[in-house]
Amino acid sequence: MTIGFTDTVGDGVLSIDATGNASWLTVRQAAVAMVDITVGAGCFVHVDAAHSATVLAWEVDAAADPEPLGFAAGDPALAALVRHLRERGETAEIVRGARLTAQWSRFAEVAAVARWTMRPVDRAALLLDRAVAEAGVGHGAAARNLFTFAEDALIDFGRRCVDGEMSSAVIDLVRRAAIVAGSAGFTGEIDSLARELGAAGAIADDRVFAGLAEWNYAVQEAGAVAQSTELGAGTVSLTVGSEMLDIAAVPPRIVAWAGADVPELLIEHDLDTDRIVLTALLSDGVDPDSAEARRLLAYAANKDSGALVATAPTRVAGRSISANLPARGHDIDDLHCGVFDAKVDVESLRGDPAGRCLAEVDRYTVEAWNWQRAALAAWNAVPDNASAEVWAAARVVFDDCLIDARKAARIALRKLADGVADTAPIELLLRTRSEAVTAFLDELAMVPAAQARPLLSELVPPEPDDE
């Protein structure tokens, strides 16, 4: 959240189809990346990661009650309007866009961080963020389930706060989590911890200073620098290349990420066997036997049309994943290769020129947003009573992060300007996305708003053996 953004989405089209499905959509695009949340049974809302309160689209299934949508938007009249229009049958009307309530906006913000944070995160801290967010929107059972998994971590974080190892911002978030956990039925040690945290002192200046000096992304070795063992590196008929992941097609923080401009995939094409071997590295801390790692698939698509040429399962070996695909007589220069989650619809894979352009834009806008979030986290890592020297150090880190954020956003705009708009819908898509990214770039010139509140998972570095 930054000063200067008018987060009202304007008008959009509310449609009721012949079966009673209701949907609302605006022409405005997400600047960073879309975040999908479920606000009730059959009720779905989509926001931009950068602006978690502003609704860009929503849907209510035909059999679903629209009441949860109105509740999430703090607007009972919206639910009443959906019911009224359903009674009229198939129709479409221009309707003003909705905004999520503070509780639902925070819920969406947590979902955005969980989905689009590219650096490693402390998984226990993220569980606590999610638990507090679930409780905030009235999902008591979901909150209790998450607190069950994160109870020991909450106690550990609390003890570290009491021992003076954490910043004021972390103490506030841990204390809030302890209070919410207590309300959810977790008493005893957590109850006493919440009281102790009210008097806890923040981390000493020298430790904050050391932490700020090291503040940065945990960059990892890119998958494209790996060397496959399936095809001999010295094979005369071997052609070697690299590809960048479509980050929208894979689970977060599974494949190693070293930046928007670094390809993760090594592509080796053996002309003699007409086979392609694709190799990538898993992120540090990822369990090779996890469901996310095991359900990754590889694909090759025609670069001009995006039509699939081949798909194949990946195999995990240590920190590497690899797949062996048939080239089916295609030259490697005519193919686009990638990796996707088995849960992703193959029809949504972006292998054509416009799709690849937007996938590359996503990499840079998400990187810009990650740098923005890192800037806010660094700023909020400083205790209120810190020395002028520590505040000055925080300002340097903050400014450096925003410089990198603006650089990434400008590259995204250049990619959009170079995109091939061969149809009117694609031209509109590129233009509206460019408008959204331009507005986001303007925001990156602003100082953080007082109400900006990073999550616990953004303020606590992961343990060495964590994700």
Q: What confidence score (pLDDT) does residue 395 get?
A: 87
Q: What confidence score (pLDDT) does residue 8 get?
A: 55
Mean pLDDT score of the chain: 88
Would the pLDDT of 28 be above 70? yes
Q: What is the pLDDT of residues 41-57, one digit of tens each?
A: 999 999 999 999 999 99
Considering only CA atoms, which of 399, 376, 369, 390 is closest in space to residue 455? 376
- The residue-averaged pLDDT of 295-300 equals 96
Q: What is the pLDDT of residues 98-116, one digit of tens each?
A: 999 999 999 999 999 999 9
List the beta bridge partners of residue 266.
242, 279
Q: By CB neighbour count within 10 A (0-12 exposed, 13-18 middle, 19+ buried), where does 145 fall?
A: middle
- The residue-averaged pLDDT of 324-330 equals 95
Tokens matching residue 292: 């996310």
d(CA 377, CA 370): 10
Least confident of 84-93, 132-141, 348-357, 372-381: 372-381
Would the pLDDT of 89 be above 50? yes
Question: Cα 180 from chain centroid?
Answer: 25
Phi-psi region of 371 (alpha: psi -120 to 50; beta: other; left: phi over 0): alpha
The Cα-based distances of 439 to 28, 398, 410, 435 in angstroms read 11, 20, 11, 6
d(CA 340, CA 325): 14
Tokens matching residue 298: 């590889």
Tell me the CA end-to-end span of the chain in Å, nearest whole number.
26
By residue count, the chain amounts to 467
Give the DSSP H or E segment for 280. Answer: strand 275-281
Phi-psi region of 42 (alpha: psi -120 to 50; beta: other; left: phi over 0): left
d(CA 114, CA 264): 21
**Which of the two residues, 223 and 335, has the higher pLDDT score?**
335
pTM for the predicted model, two decimal places:
0.91
Would the pLDDT of 205 be above 90? no
